[in-house]
Amino acid sequence: MLFFLSEKNSFGVDSFYSIENKDEETLEKAIFRWGETLGKGLLPIARDGGDNQFYLDLNESTPSVWIYLHDENEARVKLANSLEEFIDRLNINPDYL
């Protein structure tokens, strides 16, 4: 899946974290790996192919979606004002059709 921040700037969502499927990386493992790095109230929900983290900011009344780019000087970019908006703006990656 692709998330387009702008026409020239997109992020690929490699996978969402699983709650129950032990064949995929679970939310519990992601929190263990990334919780301290992301910070308090920030919940990892997915990753890209380079292990950059998509996360919810639970410190806001309506949690927004961000990406933590560990491979780009630990930059953080706000992607959507809510999880619903984030999901609505996901597109199928044509490279995988």
The pTM of this model reads 0.91
Q: Is 86 exposed, middle or buried (0-12, 13-18, 19+ CB in 10 A)?
A: buried
Domain residue ranges in the chain: 2-96
What pLDDT score does 97 carry?
62
Give 36-95 pLDDT, tens digit per residue.
999 999 999 999 999 999 999 999 999 999 999 998 999 999 999 999 999 999 998 777
**Cβ-proximal residues to 87 (8 Å cutoff; 6+ apart), any chain:** none
Least confident among 3-17, 28-42, 62-76: 3-17
Who wins on pLDDT, 64 or 10?
64
Who wins on pLDDT, 21 or 52?
52
